[in-house]
Amino acid sequence: MSMRVTPTDLIPMARGAAVLGGGGGGDPHIGRLLAASAMRELGDVEIVSPDEVPATACVLPIAMMGAPTVMVEKIPSAGQISLALETLARYLGRTPTHVACMEAGGVNSMVPFVAAARLGLPLIDGDAMGRAFPELQMVLPTMSGVSATPMSIVDDKNNKGVFDTIDNNWAERLARSATIDMGCAPIVSLYAMSGSEVRDCFVPGTLSLCLSIGSAIESARAANQDPVEALVGALRGKLIHTGKVVDVTRRTVAGFARGEAVVTGLDAAAGSQLVLKFQNEHLIAELDGEVLVTTPDLIVVVDAETGEPITTETLRFGHRVAVVAAPMDERWHTPAGIELVGPRYFGYDLDPIRFDGTPSEGARLGAC
Amino acid sequence: MSMRVTPTDLIPMARGAAVLGGGGGGDPHIGRLLAASAMRELGDVEIVSPDEVPATACVLPIAMMGAPTVMVEKIPSAGQISLALETLARYLGRTPTHVACMEAGGVNSMVPFVAAARLGLPLIDGDAMGRAFPELQMVLPTMSGVSATPMSIVDDKNNKGVFDTIDNNWAERLARSATIDMGCAPIVSLYAMSGSEVRDCFVPGTLSLCLSIGSAIESARAANQDPVEALVGALRGKLIHTGKVVDVTRRTVAGFARGEAVVTGLDAAAGSQLVLKFQNEHLIAELDGEVLVTTPDLIVVVDAETGEPITTETLRFGHRVAVVAAPMDERWHTPAGIELVGPRYFGYDLDPIRFDGTPSEGARLGAC
């Protein structure tokens, strides 16, 4: 199934992408403006399901790398985005047939539309994680043995780099240092894949999911229904808390936005206090000292009234918010998935807990 | 004029290279062993004068990048050295015809012999600075507008990178971060040049000069003559001090070995105290508070008895040393040269002083 995406579709899609960002991934707003402008100039973008991609296709994913706190102020150029893709294609000596999205959550849902419009290539409806995570090896293809490299990295000044590393952790390490030198917002193209690899490793349908989530929120608002309830439905998730943000601490460390937020319960949740721990994305939600849900499941903070997702870098004192948890791809709950993105990787000494309160299959890693 | 270099020739050549290292550039000893081993296995290396290189030649220089303090402990592999060259050649889509040396001072005099032996290519008798300097943009080709990039960088684990930057300072910045991540001793291939560019930008004859310097020291020793006097003659330099090292402070900062050494005068120099300031290489020599000679001219510390050059990382209390100054390529003394490698670039608020006490032409920069 393929679908033509117009600049107008990007509005709800970006909202849905901010939801899947789980507070991180960078605000998609600026990316959406850039994508809409490229599409108005060069035409709509066709998104195709992973099923339709020929096995021998040359698929080049593209993303912005860096700290969301910087990304909201430093706008990439459309030229920088296509240059990253062209640099990788040239190094590989291949002609790309499809553009892909690594991270459906946040700004990286929109960046691939710019590349697809400029190169006139179809974009794959899916992504490599189903949400947003802060490091480049934190994707399902890593678990399937797909190499992140060769990867390209291009900054706003047109400095270019290519890394070709022995594993995906080394790719993260070298690209992270370059990202910091390059001002914390370069564009990267990485995890070049065949069509078969995309079918094996991608979470299918995440771009159209973003569109459904965003549309559900908008329709509920238009019909004077509860947008938070609509969001919970679209995500097949669960409302875990509503309340007022009473404290936020955040700092940008080694290219990441880290911190904690405290939400004091209102209405039905009165008397309860939720603590959110984030590193770019929300990773842990703790209600009155009890861990409710952890990475890899999704924790999203939205405006309690409008259902509008709030990123960790814009969260502030006084916000009335609803906190929603939702299940993520099952592969994240395997031991290999938990090793890559479980609470312990981020420095929290906790077993992973799913959105519905059950422990993750990978939780047995905690016994090591 | 071309010349066949044998593993035996490398012994005096490495000694001469340590002299041109001016205390830095890394001890050539380990590089020499590696080069000798490659040459014993694969054959002698032909060194050719820049004059003989065809205008359209594809010349790929090669070097080790990093902190000399680490380089003496972390030995590159011959495979790593040829991989760096092959990675650049592949990125350029060119077949190299010649290998070249960026830095005749120190270990980087020897590294190109490994590549030349392994690839069966001639090596150019010359280098891009005539000595050693700590940053990659500090070469004569920078002044002629030759780009350092595309450049390759390869570590001991076979992680590879390519940088393609907007100027040579950006190449230094990105490659320096990668160098630190890669453990402070990667191999780089950079400043790909045509034969005409080599003729324009290189200091000709520096590899054979290393051989003459080393041979002069050895012959003097064999003939029971003063090796320091022989060294001064071979360098067309000047003895500026003899004495005992009474203090050395050094630290490795951001990939560089920085510090100071104090030499208390003996014999004719009794009562005088020389302070040497170094950042990998000796940059300033100050006698009793008066600046005698500065970068870009050469300051070399050798064992007072044997004439054996001493690198800044092995200099220690109690060493009886002779300190020799020597003139460097005239292009370093132009305003552009002084901007790149003059005392102020290194953070010393001083006008440059030549080995013979006259001010450098570029000294007028001091008036800015």
**Tokens 């205390």 belong to residue:** B23
Share the mean pLDDT of chain B. 94
Q: Which of B137, B151, B164 is best to mutate for the A interface (most A CBs within 10 A)? A: B164
Prediction ipTM score: 0.90
Q: A16 and A142: one domain?
A: yes
The residues near A145 (Cβ < 8 Å, ≥ 6 apart) are: none
Tell me the sheet residues that pair with A264: A244, A273
Token digits of residue A133: 């995570």
Note whether B169 contacts A: Cβ–Cβ < 8 A. Answer: no
List the CATH number of the domain containing A332. 2.40.390.10
Reported as a single tens digit per residue, the pLDDT across A8-18 is: 999 999 999 99
Q: B58 and B196: one domain?
A: yes
State the Cα–Cα distance between residues B210 and B15, nearest whole angstrom.
7
Tell the burial category of A227 from Cβ atoms under 10 Å away from its Cβ (0-12, 13-18, 19+): buried
Q: A141 and A55: one domain?
A: yes
Residue A366 has pLDDT above 50, yes or no: no
In this structure, are residues A137 and A171 in contact, taking their beta carbons and an 8 Å threshold? yes
Nearest to A341 by CA among A103, A78, A45, A111: A103
**Tokens 């080599």 belong to residue:** B198
The residues near A147 (Cβ < 8 Å, ≥ 6 apart) are: A165, A167, A168, A171, A191
pLDDT score, position B305: 96
Q: A138 and A233: one domain?
A: no
pLDDT level of residue A301 (50, 70, 90 thresholds): very high
Q: B268 and B308: one domain?
A: yes
pLDDT score, position B256: 67
List the CATH number of the domain containing B30. 3.40.1610.10
Percentage of residues in chain A with pLDDT exceeding 70?
A: 97
Reported as a single tens digit per residue, the pLDDT across B234-273 is: 999 999 999 999 999 988 776 667 899 999 999 888 999 9
Note whether B51 contacts A: Cβ–Cβ < 8 A. Answer: no
Interface contact B174-A178, CB threshold 8 A: yes
Q: A192 and A228: one domain?
A: no
State the Cα–Cα distance between residues A270 and A262, nearest whole angstrom.
14
Q: Which of A80, A86, A151, A170 is best to mutate for the B interface (most B CBs within 10 A)? A: A170
Q: A187 and A287: one domain?
A: no
Note whether B275 contacts A: Cβ–Cβ < 8 A. Answer: no
Taking residues B186-200, report their average pLDDT: 98
Reported as a single tens digit per residue, the pLDDT across A34-82 is: 999 999 999 999 999 999 999 999 999 999 998 766 777 788 888 999 9
**Residue ranges making up the domain that contains B257:** 225-358
Of A339-343, B146-150, B161-165, B256-260, the poorest mean pLDDT is in: B256-260
State the Cα–Cα distance between residues B279 and B343, nearest whole angstrom.
11
Residue B366 has pLDDT above 60, yes or no: no
Q: A167 and A52: one domain?
A: yes
* A235 inside domain: yes
Q: B77 and B123: one domain?
A: yes
Q: A189 and A282: one domain?
A: no
Q: Which of A90, A153, A172, A177 is best to mutate for the B interface (most B CBs within 10 A)? A: A177
Reported as a single tens digit per residue, the pLDDT across A334-361 is: 999 999 999 999 989 999 999 999 988 8
* B218 inside domain: no
Residues of B in contact with A159 (CB under 8 A): 163-166, 170, 174
- Residue numbers of A between 190 and 219 with CB closer than 8 Å to B: none
* A300 inside domain: yes
Interface contact A178-B173, CB threshold 8 A: no
* A246 inside domain: yes
Sign of the alpha-carbon dihedral angle for A72, A76, A82, A85: negative
pLDDT score, position A368: 40
Interface contact A161-B157, CB threshold 8 A: no
Of A46-50, B36-40, B182-186, the poorest mean pLDDT is in: B182-186
DSSP string, A117-149: HHHT--EESEESSSS--SSTT-SHHHHTT----
Percentage of residues in chain B with pLDDT exceeding 70?
A: 97
pLDDT level of residue A256 (50, 70, 90 thresholds): low
Residue B354 has pLDDT above 60, yes or no: yes
Sheet harboring A298-303: ordered strands across? A290-294, A281-287, A273-279, A256-265, A238-253, A320-326, A298-303
Q: How many domains does chain A have?
A: 2
* B329 inside domain: yes
* A80 inside domain: yes
Share the mean pLDDT of chain A. 94
Q: B201 and B245: one domain?
A: no
Note whether B174 contacts A: Cβ–Cβ < 8 A. Answer: yes
H or E element in which residue B324 lies: strand B320-326
* A211 inside domain: no
pLDDT score, position A254: 66
Q: B40 and B76: one domain?
A: yes
**CA of A90: which chain B residue's CA is closest?**
B91
**Tokens 């080394």 belong to residue:** A170
- Residue among B165, B166, B181 minimizing CB distance to A174: B181
* B87 inside domain: yes
Measured between CA atoms, how close is A52 to chain B, in angstroms? 33
